[in-house]
Amino acid sequence: MRNNLMFVGAVRRHPAGMTLGTLAALLGALAVAAGAFGAHALRDRLDPAALAIWETAARYHLVHALAALYAAERAVRTADGAARAAAAVFLVGIVVFGGSLYALALGAPRVLGAVAPVGGATLILGWILLAVGHRRT
């Protein structure tokens, strides 16, 4: 019981962590919807290469939404600034990496493909920030 009360207190003290967690959870829901949309609505409309790009985007989207949710929860529980930064960076990476791949799959200009590595580097940075936070505790 005491741990639960401490957690509630931590949420009140760190509203930014709670907001990041909410965004991460919503992005997780969106990732599942995107995966289902690709598997059902786009299956007969996209060529196999474009569908593979969509599936990659949905997979990375979901994995990193979970990573962002974990980082946000860790930030709230431990007041870890690196974890809070990791959560924010993961959310940006999802939008940049996943967004560029979703757009490419739907026929956006190929030049948009140059944006995906920036998003990928952002996701890698999120993992590094999580490692830094864990190293400190």
Contact between 117 and 96 (Cβ < 8 Å): no
Separation of alpha carbons 122 and 117, rounded Å: 8
Contact between 26 and 62 (Cβ < 8 Å): no
pTM of the model: 0.85
Please count the helices (runs of H) and the strands (runs of E) in the chain: 6, 0
- Which tokens sit at 118? 């920036």
- Total number of residues shown for the chain: 137
Amino acid 17: pLDDT? 55
* Tens-level pLDDT at each residue, the chain (137 residues): 444 444 444 444 455 556 999 999 999 999 999 999 999 999 999 999 999 999 999 999 999 999 999 999 999 999 999 999 999 999 999 999 999 999 999 999 999 999 999 999 999 999 999 999 998 76
